[in-house]
Amino acid sequence: MVKPRVYVTRVIPDAGLERIRAVADAEVWEGDEPPPYEILLEKVEGLDGLVSLLTDRIDAELMDAAGGSLRVISQMAVGTDNIDLAAATERGIPVGNTPGVLTETTADFAFSLLMAAARRIVEGERYVKAGKWVTWGPTLLMGHDIHGATLGLIGFGRIGQGMAKRARGFGMRVLYAGPSVDEGTARELHAERRDLDELLTESDFVSLHVPLTEQTTHLMADREFKLMKPGAILINTARGPVVDPGALYRALKEGEIAYAALDVTEPEPIPVDDPLLTLDNCLIVPHIASSSLATRSRMATMAAENLEAGLKGEKLPHCANPEVYG
Ligand code: GLV
């Protein structure tokens, strides 16, 4: 029997790739960088399934370039803001994603960023490696306490709630903004709801956990930074464009907030000459919050499962556009 044809836009962990190869005739883009859009347009022609990453632009034009054969798009990520979901739905193409499996790993990482920023760990490491450590300093690299501080979570879904659990272990007070959760969950996590402005005004740490949509693009801009406490710290593990980078630069430079720790930037990757990279109070890492060995393997497996279901014409176990099923 002829196997369905699938394109995988990067080398993903073996756990997923082996599973994909077992059910499909799979071509894999071997480059370290994403395939250029023009290449994708060519590759997609006549495909049955596409395994994508958040670095690929998957729009209506690309879907149409498949020529009507595309039965499933399976993305190895929970976020799908790179995919035109409405266009996929219009064309009857289900889009898979990987929610749940990366929640704890991403919350671990967001909390690590919070701690690294609060206690200036990266600055400390640079200081030592630069040979500047000549004595114990009574005011050296003074940071911010985590225990007893208030953590404001913008977005209180799975990962936001994961942050709340961790914060409780550190004796933090937890606030959240966004759609309200049921009373039981809020009570269990000791989280109090606030509107966005109240949360920004009251929090010592503000951590972003919203998907990127039209409403959340540049949700954090000049006005919002002005509302934050001068000693406050921003953590972004959501999507880069949730923060206006120009406004963040100004806020950090002018001391309107103390520090930012970013796993995601706008654009990605951040250019080496971006002004944010000149600031000591801005810690930036390359979008690695879900990158543990176990979790990336689980994400790849889940992407393979979604792909397989879609190729068989079955409902995807995790579908980002369930409306496609009517
Ligand atoms: C990572 O950012 C993801 O959306 O999975």
pLDDT value at residue 313: 97
The verdict on whether 144 is a catalytic residue reads no
Q: How far is CA 181 from the centre of its chain?
A: 21
Q: What is the mean pLDDT of residues 70-99?
A: 98
pLDDT tens digit sequence for 266-318: 999 999 999 999 999 999 999 999 999 999 999 999 999 999 999 999 999 99
Per annotation, catalytic residue among 5, 166, 287, 296: 287
pLDDT value at residue 102: 97
Confidence of residue 265 (pLDDT cuts 50, 70, 90): very high
Q: Within a 10 A sphere around the Cβ of 232, how many other Cβ atoms?
A: 25
Q: What is the mean pLDDT of residues 91-119?
A: 98
- One DSSP character per residue, 260-301 reads EEES--SSSSPPTT-GGGG-TTEEE--S-TT--HHHHHHHHH
The verdict on whether 119 is a catalytic residue reads no
Task: Verify that 259 and 300 share a domain, yes or no.
Answer: no
Task: Verify that 178 and 267 share a domain, yes or no.
Answer: yes
Task: Verify that 75 and 191 share a domain, yes or no.
Answer: no
Task: Verify that 128 and 241 share a domain, yes or no.
Answer: yes
Q: Which amino acid is at 305?
A: E
Task: Verify that 200 and 236 share a domain, yes or no.
Answer: yes
Residue 103 · residue 133 · CB < 8 Å: no
Task: Verify that 160 and 33 share a domain, yes or no.
Answer: no
Q: What is the mean pLDDT of residues 169-177?
A: 98
Predicted TM-score of the model (pTM): 0.96
Does position 17 have pLDDT exceeding 90, yes or no?
Answer: yes
Does position 253 have pLDDT exceeding 90, yes or no?
Answer: yes
User: Ligand 1 in contact with 79 (CB < 6 A)?
Assistant: yes
CA distance 314 to 308: 8
User: Ligand 1 in contact with 211 (CB < 6 A)?
Assistant: no
Task: Verify that 90 and 110 share a domain, yes or no.
Answer: no
Into how many domains does the chain fold? 2
Nearest CA, atom 1, ligand 1: 77
Nearest CA, atom 4, ligand 1: 79
Per annotation, catalytic residue among 5, 194, 209, 239: 239
pLDDT value at residue 3: 97
Task: Verify that 50 and 132 share a domain, yes or no.
Answer: no
Task: Verify that 77 and 27 share a domain, yes or no.
Answer: yes
pLDDT value at residue 148: 98
Assign residue 213 the CATH number of its domain: 3.40.50.720
Q: What is the mean pLDDT of the chain?
A: 98
Cα 262 to ligand 1 centroid, rounded to whole Å: 14
Q: Atom of ligand 1 at shortest distance to CA of 287?
A: 2
Task: Verify that 45 and 179 share a domain, yes or no.
Answer: no
Q: What is the mean pLDDT of residues 120-131?
A: 98
User: Ligand 1 in contact with 54 (CB < 6 A)?
Assistant: yes
Q: Which domain holds residue 165?
A: 103-284
CA distance 326 to 318: 16
Does position 1 have pLDDT exceeding 90, yes or no?
Answer: no
Task: Verify that 228 and 174 share a domain, yes or no.
Answer: yes
The verdict on whether 190 is a catalytic residue reads no
Q: What is the mean pLDDT of residues 52-80?
A: 98
Task: Verify that 157 and 266 share a domain, yes or no.
Answer: yes
Query: Which residue matches tokens 């509302």?
Result: 227
CA distance 98 to 158: 13
- One DSSP character per residue, 184-252 reads HHHHHTTEEE--HHHHHHH-SEEEE-----TTTTT-BSHHHHHHS-TT-EEEE-S-GGGB-HHHHHHHH
Q: Atom of ligand 1 at shortest distance to CA of 264?
A: 2
* SS3 state of residue 88: helix
Does position 228 have pLDDT exceeding 90, yes or no?
Answer: yes
